[in-house]
Structure 1
Amino acid sequence: MHTVAVLALDHVVAADLATPIEVFGRVRLADGRRPYRVRVCAATPQVAGEAFRIIAPYGLEALREADTIMVPGCSEQAPPPGGEVLDALREAAASGTRIASICVGAFTLAAAGLLDGLRATTHWIAAGLLAERFPLVDVRPDVLYVDNGQILTSAGAAAGLDLCLHMIRRDFGSAVAADSARLLVMPLEREGGQAQFIVHAQPPVPRGSLLEPVLSWIEDNLAREVTLPDMAARCGLSERTFSRRFREQTGTTPLQWLLRARVRRAQFLLETTDHGVERIAAQAGFGSPTAFRERFKRVVGVTPQTYRSSFRSNASAG
């Protein structure tokens, strides 16, 4: 059982607090088990939000027992985090606990010194202030989240969903994360801004969208050669118009979408079959095993074999 401690500070942002509670609390493995135990903890028994008060069931001692600590953001009226909070976070980091922030929760991590020398992000409107207050932090305002391994940060509140799914992806693989995304009715796939694990399931497309048929067709034809003219023709549009509308609706290009779809297919096959690299490369539509290995490592960050070993062992753990 993986314990997630959600740290509630005074003036905590309600959406930031609720996101990890809901996302991690609803995760299911293939056999029905819940792999995460979620605990809300605070420095004081009662925590004041902007329009509510909560009674935290756990104190800061819960941080010592956690495998992951989530730090939600707080409003502008919030006082600086107390020394006992910062000390508890430093102690947890020193013991190897994974710690992640949502939105302006990055300021709390920075105040504890946990972001010094690291890349980090926060809500774009607060990025300049974060960089000004904490010059040792490499602030990246144009990404959804940053994964440094042990320490992670995310941008505005909605990006907290992306971050949580990414963490589930790291822990238990793409099938579990895809199921969680479906429960959340997540929008079209968004990129975190760096090489990252991608949920293998095709992101939902608004029903009736111009792209719905062509994206389904792409998924059904990944093993064959798929070109931009092919995709445009499926929509009855010129290549230029199709590319423009595709970017407007998905935030990426048709060919980048195709490549990510092929990587997702390969991830699924690596997790669920014993097929060799050559067969998976063909089934996912890569030109050769070499091209497959190079593209997969560039996108995912590890080789196909390392990926298979890692996520198969994680999915069976718990």
Structure 2
Amino acid sequence: MPPPRLLGIDFPVLPTTAMGHVLHAIELLRAANLIARLRVGRTAPRLGWRLCDAQGQPMPVTHGPCQPMLSEGVFEGPPQAQWVLSQHTADVPTLRQTVARHGPLRRHLAVAIDQGQRVLTLGNGAWWAAGSGRLSGHRVALPWYWAAAFHRDHPDVVIAAGTEVCVDGPWFSAALPQDTGELVLALVAQCWDHDLHAALASVLRPDAARQKAAQEALQAQPLPTTRDSALARAIEHLEKQVDQPYALAAVARAAAVSPRTLLRHFQEALGHSPLDHLLRLRCERARLLLEITLEGIPAIAQACGYADPAAFRRIFTRHVGLTPQAYRERHTLRAPRQRWRVPV
């Protein structure tokens, strides 16, 4: 019986490494191995893993609750991939200092890429991959809050805006921790056959249709009849016209029903009117703009369909429970401005 094909992955661990993300990634690799064994048996391909230091030297697996999980994937010989997880850093200056202190890891990744290994990164782990000097011109997925500083440090690397997971040559990158599963799937897609990849995707990816069908089967209920799509058409119209003046007749025309019928659909299905639904959509947009932009309240009010900032403040406060300014102060992700200042 031929031995199973092995893809070994090293996880460089620094003092600042987010170990929870490391363990989560390893759990997903374990899940992939389990699916492969269930589908293929003893000859199934296997993913291996081990922790290593900045120079690429394997670290001993110590006793503790995580010891069985870490030991399960240990392999001998050179790896085929390096996975640099996110680092705990409070701001850009601290991140840059951390990267500068760990030059051996950047050099280790350069050697790994020269040897044909893949490099996987999550979040700000991309700084070490880009610092290897081997990925100029490649694309990377990053969270929006790291994008400006990363571009300043590595203008030769292309940020894949709006992309959660990016695969470009040897570089596999994910923006956020919730994208780790997609990063594993991207790796498996290159290393395993289509059927195994599809089986793993069916487990790791949310599937609303299957979830609903399973729930219905569990409750032994017949499949519901298809509902009139007038409500869906109306909601889609409201979502596209968030910043436009409200007119019930226009929404009804988009839904292909009378205004009275449309009001009945909304009340029966959602318990509120189309106007109430539009106000909620506007407040959701305003919350997002308050969190991630520095635009003033009048500009945000206009972007949400309000010519009068005072009316916007009144409606936002009624729906959210905070004034726009209070909401911004409570939910902003930015540190004080001086901590984000980029040295020149």
Provide TM-score, normalisation by structure 1.
Answer: 0.54
Can you list the C-alpha shifts for 1:195-224, whole angstroms capped at 9, x where unaligned? xxxxxxxx6555379xx99xxxxxxxxxxx
Corresponding letter in the other structure for 2:189:
R
Give the corresponding residue for 2:80. Answer: 67
Residue in structure 1 matching 2:53, options 11, 35, 42: 42
Asked whether the equivalents of residues 86 and 125 of structure 2 are also in contact (C-alpha less than 8 Å), the reply is yes
- Write the distance in 1 (CA, Å) between the matches of 2:153 and 2:47: 34
The answer to whether structure 1 residue 135 and structure 2 residue 155 are counterparts is yes
Matched with 2:16 is 11
Aligned partner of 2:228 in structure 1 is: 236
d(CA) in 2 for partners of 1:16 and 1:242? Answer: 41
Q: How does 1:163-182 map to 2 (within 5 A)?
A: 163-182=183-202
Counterpart of 1:31?
40
Aligned residues: 202
Alignment partners' CA distance in 1, 2:127 and 2:209: 33
The offset of 1:76, in angstroms, is: 1.1
Give per-residue Cα distances to partners, 1:249-285, cap 9 Å, x unaligned: xxxxxxxxxxxxxxxxxxxxxxxxxxxxxxxxxxxxx
8 A contact 2:10–2:50 mirrored in 1: yes
Q: Please, what is the CA RMSD of the aligned residues? A: 3.8
- Contact 2:45–2:192 under 8 Å retained in 1: no
* 1:106 to partner: Cα distance: 0.7
Alpha-carbon separation, structure 1, partners of 2:105 and 2:165: 23
Conservation of the 8 A alpha-carbon contact between 2:8 and 2:79: yes
Is the 8 Å Cα contact of residues 3 and 38 (structure 1) preserved in structure 2? yes
Amino acid at match of 2:173: T
Whether 1:117 aligns to 2:137 is: yes
- Work out whether residues 81 and 119 of structure 2, in 8 Å CA contact, stay in contact via their aligned partners in 1: yes
Residue 136 of structure 1 and its aligned partner are, at CA, apart by 0.9
Equivalent residue letter for 1:66: P
Offset of residue 105 of structure 1: 1.0
Is the contact between residue 167 and residue 186 of structure 2 (CA under 8 Å) also seen in structure 1? no
**Structure 2 residue aligned with 1:275:** none
Question: Could you tell me the TM-score, scaled by structure 2's length?
Answer: 0.50
CA distance in 2, matches of 1:236, 1:137: 48
13 and 205 in structure 1: CA distance in 2 versus 1, 3 angstrom threshold? farther
| Cα deviation, residue 84, structure 1 | 1.8
Aligned in 2, Cα 1:91/1:242: closer, same or farther, shift over 3 Å?
farther
- 2:249 corresponds to which residue? none
Q: Secondary structure at the match of 1:153?
A: strand
Q: CA deviation at 1:163?
A: 1.4
Contact 1:145–1:153 (Cα < 8 Å) also in 2:
yes
* Structure with greater Cα Rg: 2
1:117-266 equivalence runs, <5 A: 117-184=137-204, 186-188=205-207, 205-207=210-212, 234-238=226-230, 241=233, 244=236
Answer whether contact 1:73 1:105 (CA < 8 A) is retained. yes
Correspondence for 2:307: none
Q: Secondary structure at the match of 1:65?
A: coil
Q: Counterpart of 2:340? A: none
1:93-134 deviation line (CA, Å, top 9, x unaligned)? 001111111121111111222332111121221111111111
Change beyond 3 A, Cα 1:117–1:41: same
The code of the aligned residue for 1:91 comes to V
Pair 164,84 (structure 1): closer, same or farther in 2 beyond 3 Å: same
Larger relative helix fraction: 2
The amino acid across from 2:84 in the alignment is V
**Which ranges in structure 1 are unaligned for 5 or more consecutive residues?**
48-52, 189-202, 214-232, 249-318
CA distance in 2, matches of 1:139, 1:181: 26
CA distance in 1, matches of 2:122, 2:156: 20
Instruction: Give the 3 Å change call, closer, same or farther, for CA 239–161 of structure 1 in structure 2.
Output: same
Structure 2: segments with no counterpart, 5+ residues: 1-5, 218-224, 241-344
| 1:140-179: CA deviation from partner (whole Å, max 9, x where unpaired) | 2310111112112111111121111121122213322233
Change (3 A) 1:63 1:89: farther
**Cα distance change of structure 1 residues 2 and 239 upon mapping to structure 2, 3 Å threshold:** same
- Pairing partner for 2:104 from 78, 84, 99: 84
% same residue:
17
Rounded Cα–Cα distance in structure 2 between residues aligned with 1:175 and 1:204: 20
